[in-house]
Structure 1
Amino acid sequence: MRDVKKILEMRSQNFSQRKIAEALKVSRDTVRKVSKAADENNICWSMIQNQNEMEVQKLLFGKETKLNLIIKQPDYQYIHKELLRPGTNIRLLWEEYAEDCRNSNFPFYQYSYFCEKYRDYVKKNNLTMHITHKPGDKLMVDWNGTTMGVFDRYTGESIKAYLFEATLPFSMLCYVQACPTMKIADWIDCHINAYRYFEGVTRLLVPDNLKTGVISNKKYEDPVLNKSYQEMADHYDTTIIPTRVRKPRDKAAVEGAVGDCTIAIVGKLRNRKFFSF
């Protein structure tokens, strides 16, 4: 049972409904109902400050009408299973939970507290949530599947521009470079420029199993790398650990960055014409 008196007290101090809901961890719908009942019954804080909680609720809502102030608990077992499905994230599941509570006339947890309780559930049940990355430890690299175009000024011929992306998974800082090919020379050149951009080299380098850099990556065997790619790694004293075959979650950071960069770069520049890389 939530404190109706506290809602009225904060209301008398000119706090907004949003601030009251955040402070008391109740839904804004609950605050709105209490405020509406107080206005309809001409009840102010000074009139009820010396009464107990039950007397105030009875005064506001009468004997027959009761305000449901019990917060509906999220089904975190269901939420954890849903997070494993493609296309879902914690905010989407919170929005569905909040909508269900509104339809059932129940108060609900705000997003930050909902996430906090989910983290507690994961920790309590020793479940796997997301990978915790260390700053500057890994660099995840990949080609963006979407291409752009570079045009010849004289012939008007369009040349494909392939987008190389490198992402630091802790900070999600990204480096993006357009290249005329996806061959090993451009691939290595992009790595070198990424290291210059980040002003440092990570301990680990995580590419996909593209043939440019990884010749073979079989289960229970060490990956066979392109000789030039391995020499580059030796020069920069970093270790290449390709992702498992058909396991995009192994480099989820750069996979997510690919979508963001497609919107931020390809989408925003779609109406511009470029004549050089």
Structure 2
Amino acid sequence: MRDLKRILELRFENHSQREIARMLKVSRNTVRDVFDAADAAGVYWNTAYNLSESQINELLFPSNGIDVSYEQPDYAYVHKELLKVGVSLKMLWKEYVDQCKSTHKVYLKYSAFCNNYSSYVKKNKLTMHITHKPGDRIMVDWDGKTMKVHDRSLNQDVTAYMFVAVLPFSMYCYVEACPRMDSKNWINCHIHAFEYFGGVSRILVPDNLKTGVTEHKKYEDPVLNKSYQEMADYYGMAIIPARVKKPRDKS
């Protein structure tokens, strides 16, 4: 909507076209068009204050109906840019607004911009970019892939399992090979990762593997491995496992 009624009210209060455009976050050309249409139709606040928006629109633009042409953002570009570190929806909206102002086009408000982007992501079954804070979380898991390591004492190749810890803001990683995927190695790898990163995060995000999470039912708090919980308590961290069957919760 053009906020026709509000434009007429602000005009009655002697606000300039520039002021009204800034207050309502619309282009100055839109305000000027409303002023011109109001003068041509003889419609002012004293006759419009008790009318609905659609009634005012019909008086000012009888042949057009509701003729609002917002410049639509390129959401494919928005989604691609959000994958870059440090880029936010707010920044991309401001960029879009600047482009609209330079070409004298009507732009969407920030809330509509975000809602439309969410609809675009849902319609195209894409993954929305998750904004992480530096050092706020550490995401951990067994990689799932294995590698062969030559054991000199046995003079044979043995299987090694890969522990991975990631700082999602920077994608800074720690990787360690272990002989077994058991609780002892799991916790030791965490300690080594904290030493490597030079500190701990506020939140630790593991997957729902048995070495860390005993039980995780939908709509219920997860039950953590006792040793794992004690480790988190010692370091002052909160463990929040990813949702079951929701791999996009993690980097």
TM-score for both structures, normalised by structure 2: 0.53
Report the identity percentage: 57
RMSD value over aligned CA atoms? 3.0
How far apart, in 2, do the equivalents of 1:136 and 1:232 lie? 18
Between the two structures, name the one with larger relative contact order (CA 8 Å, sep ≥ 6).
1
Match of 1:242 in 2: 241
Pairing 1:214–2:213 present: yes
Match of 2:134 in 1: 135
Pairing 1:150–2:144 present: no
Residue 145 of structure 1: CA displacement?
A: 1.6
Residue 214 of structure 1: CA displacement?
A: 0.3
How far apart, in 2, do the equivalents of 1:194 and 1:171 lie? 15
How far apart, in 2, do the equivalents of 1:247 and 1:233 lie? 23
- Change in Cα spacing, 1:122 to 1:182, as seen in structure 2 (3 Å) is farther
Match of 1:67 in 2: none
Match of 2:176 in 1: 177
Mind listing any 5+ residue stretches in structure 1 that lack a counterpart?
Answer: 1-72, 84-89, 92-114, 254-277
* Cα distance per residue 1:5-62 (max 9 Å; x no partner): xxxxxxxxxxxxxxxxxxxxxxxxxxxxxxxxxxxxxxxxxxxxxxxxxxxxxxxxxx
| Contact 1:164 1:177 (C-alpha < 8 Å) held by counterparts | yes
* Cα distance per residue 1:199-251 (max 9 Å; x no partner): 11100000000011101111110000000000000000000000000101111
Residue 157 of structure 1: CA displacement?
A: 2.1
Residue 146 of structure 1: CA displacement?
A: 1.5
Q: Which runs of 4+ in 1 moved over 3 A?
A: 73-77, 115-123
Mind listing any 5+ residue stretches in structure 2 that lack a counterpart?
Answer: 1-70, 82-90, 97-107, 119-127
How far apart, in 2, do the equivalents of 1:193 and 1:118 lie? 42
How far apart, in 2, do the equivalents of 1:249 and 1:235 lie? 29
Residue 125 of structure 1: CA displacement?
A: 3.6
Residue 122 of structure 1: CA displacement?
A: 11
How far apart, in 2, do the equivalents of 1:149 and 1:174 lie? 21
Match of 1:41 in 2: none
Residue 169 of structure 1: CA displacement?
A: 0.7
| Secondary structure of 2:231's aligned partner | helix
Look up the equivalent residue of 2:196 and give its one-letter code: Y
